[in-house]
Chains A and B, each alone.
Chain A
Amino acid sequence: MLGEAIIKGMAVTARNFLGSYVSDERLTTIQYPDERQSLSEAVRNFPFLVYDAGDWQKGLRCVACQICEKECPPKCIYIVKSKDKKPDYIGKPQLYPAIFDIDTSVCMSCQICVEVCPFDAIKMDTEFELSTADRFGGLLLHKDQLAKPNTYYHKIHPTEAGEVDARLAAEKAKVEAKAKADAEAKAKAAAAKPAPVLAAAAPGAAPSLAAKPA
């Protein structure tokens, strides 16, 4: 019959329309911003810098190695290294970024900076409501805007942050154990050898070694 298929198609439309009153599963839209979808853990948007402990300037994990700046596909990261050094989470003196800018109007959220970072210092944020009236200044984020605490990282990516923390703790424990073993070996050597030899060796020790916490 001519028009039969049209009626069949209309029946499908009617079923979908009426079904949305019966079954919540058929409702495919939500009333944003009053209602919000929960984001999955893997969601990524723009990068931010992680810092440990309370002070963002002291606890910043970034050591300004500039790998992310080099690997970034659209080249939206700008880093200037510091002149002096600060101790990092294992107490090793490291450089820190004097300037760390990310132009989020250029960033394409590819996550390559996160993947190449050897220090777990840069991670992806999930914040997406970033509209601003100033399209140049407002989207160029500086170090103070980018720095976010590790607790925030735990909040948005709990599983991943847990893994990172475990890895960092293991590394720290390894370094500490090595330092302890070194100190013990040194003490042993000092005890075994006569005193004048030790006195002769001491001035030759590197200043960095002397500064290393045992």
Chain B
Amino acid sequence: MSSTTVEPNSVAPGPTQVAPQADGTGVPSYSLAPKVTAAGAVEGELLEVSMGPQHPSTHGVFRMDVVLDGERVVKLKPVFGYLHRNHEKIGENTTYLASMPYTDRLDYFCSMTNNWAYALAVEKLAGLQVPERAEYLRVILAELTRLQNHASLGGFLLQDMGAMGTPLMYAFREREKILDLFESLSGARMMCNYMRFGGCRCDLPPGWVEQAKKVVNDFPGFLDEFETLLNENEILMARTQGVGLLPRALAISASVTGPMLRASGVNYDLRKVDKYGIYDRFDFRVPLGEHGDVYDRYMIRILEMRESLKILQQALRDLPEGSIIDPKAKLRGFRPKLGEAYGRIEAPKGELGFYLISDGSPNPYRYRVRAPSFINLTILEDMCLGHIVADAVIILGSVDIVLGEVDR
């Protein structure tokens, strides 16, 4: 690892900054002027590079302003907001129901979990009871979402490392089957807009459960194949092990959630902690990492997919008959009583929360989204410092961001 402290040049001094401390705090000092050694010889200079927003490896319109000492990252400034769509303000100016399709467009990979988190918040606000069958459907759809999100993340991450195409295409082949399930149920592959306050919008079409069972039973075969493809690959291990370390303490203090937090060895999964919905009925384990490097974050997702399959098998087996929506739920003229509510779930990317304040009108007074990608992204610099540019790319890939959610 190269030194992150650089002697400021006397001609063009860099901004006064605090040198990084041993515990990882402090802002690294740098100067874009030529580096001069004690003997007076010029050693080269730092280079400021703007990666993105059109860079193919930034997973969307995201920019990293990196300062490089040769190949090493000395400073990294994430710049976001290119995809800002005023989501929260729109939410405050439309009815509760009209915000539901907008939540699909936060993390467009996981519209089902977004729907669920928002519905959970509104249900708390309005005191609606979700029927048994709808709870099971929600769990099934959320876990299917987790499967397809983690599978595609694996593909994208490996693509960032140079495994061009193959793993990503295999992941997308499987994802397609899950999207077909979403389509035949909700009518749309990605923008499902399926959940409603107090339940779900429509019941399963005939043959859906059988189709879902087939997908769930075939999925372990794909996971085995995916793991054989690259898991033990020497190049992959060399590229990912010990790269982008996220210490446990930093992960907690930066309120990182989801697979990233668990890869650092913190046992915190809202499905176990909150037991929202009916997650207390299922038997599954929470995989934990040890080192908190990119390899752990990749493996955690593979293991989580296997646990999701366990939940899916139990949920599909136990799926009861019955109504799918609370009879008290109203589609039009929905006005929850005064109050506030925070609904949070374990989305594939971390803790997704919706905070709503109701003033009794048809629109929420305040509508706030706690987006996991956004908060997980805040520690990007801490993970990237001292690594080469190509590592910064895979560290970003391992955070698993979707810019729709980061920028909102």
Contact = CB atoms under 8 A, between A and B. Distances in A.
Contacts of A109: 188, 191
A71 B97 contact: yes
Given A9-B233, A73-B94, A73-B99, A115 B201 contact: yes
A40 interface: yes
A123 to B, nearest CB: 11
Interface in B188-226: 188, 191, 193, 201-202, 205, 225
Interface in A127-159: none
B191 A110 contact: yes
Contacts of A41: 184, 205
Interface string B310-337: 0000000000000000000001100000
Given A28-B176, A115-B331, A73 B233 contact: no
Interface string A104-131: 0000111110011000000010000000
B98 A108 contact: no
Interface string A1-24: 011111011001100100000000
Given A40-B205, A111-B193, A5 B225 contact: no
Contacts of B188: 43-44, 109
A9 B228 contact: yes
Nearest to A159: B205
Interface string B83-114: 00000000000110111111011000000000
A112 B97 contact: yes
A67 interface: yes
Given A6-B233, A40-B205, A44-B188, A108 B101 contact: yes
Nearest to B201: A115
B290 interface: no
Contact of B184 (A4, A42, A73, A108): A42
B345 to A, nearest CB: 21
B186 interface: yes
In this complex, which of A3, A5, A16, A43 has the most chain B Cβ atoms within 10 angstroms of its Cβ?
A5
Query: Interface range on chain B: under 10, 10 to 19, 20 to 34, or 35 or more?
Result: 35 or more
Contacts, number: 76
B104 to A, nearest CB: 8
B47 interface: no
B384 to A, nearest CB: 27
Contacts of B231: 5
A17 to B, nearest CB: 10
Contacts of B191: 108-110
A73 B99 CA distance: 7
B232 A42 contact: no
B185 interface: yes
A13 B95 contact: no
B124 to A, nearest CB: 22
Contacts of B233: 5-6, 9
B184 A40 contact: yes
Given A40-B205, A71-B97, A111 B234 contact: no
Contacts of B185: 42
Nearest to A42: B187
A45 B184 CA distance: 13
In this complex, which of B176, B187, B331 has the most chain A Cβ atoms within 10 angstroms of its Cβ?
B187
B187 A43 contact: yes
B355 to A, nearest CB: 20
Interface in A51-86: 67, 71-73
B183 interface: yes
A116 B95 CA distance: 13
Nearest to A110: B101
B273 interface: no
A67 B331 CA distance: 12
B170 interface: yes
Contacts of A67: 332
Given A13-B166, A43-B187, A44-B188, A8 B101 contact: no
B230 interface: yes
Contacts of B98: 71-73, 112
B252 interface: no
A4 B233 CA distance: 8
B173 to A, nearest CB: 5
B295 to A, nearest CB: 14
Nearest to A157: B187
A21 to B, nearest CB: 17
A181 B231 CA distance: 76
A116 B234 contact: no
B249 interface: no
B218 to A, nearest CB: 11
A12 B228 contact: yes
A108 B205 CA distance: 23
Nearest to A17: B166
B229 interface: yes
B193 A9 contact: no
B12 interface: no
Contacts of B193: 110-112
B41 interface: no
Sorted nearest first, the 4 A-B pairs with minimum C-beta distance are: A110-B101, A5-B232, A40-B184, A73-B98
Given A6-B233, A28-B176, A43-B183, 11 more contacts: A5-B232, A5-B234, A9-B228, A42-B205, A73-B94, A73-B99, A73-B102, A111-B187, A111-B193, A112-B100, A116-B331
Interface of B: 94-95, 97-102, 104-105, 166, 170, 173, 176, 180, 183-188, 191, 193, 201-202, 205, 225, 228-235, 331-332
5 contacts: A9-B229, A40-B205, A42-B205, A110-B100, A112-B98
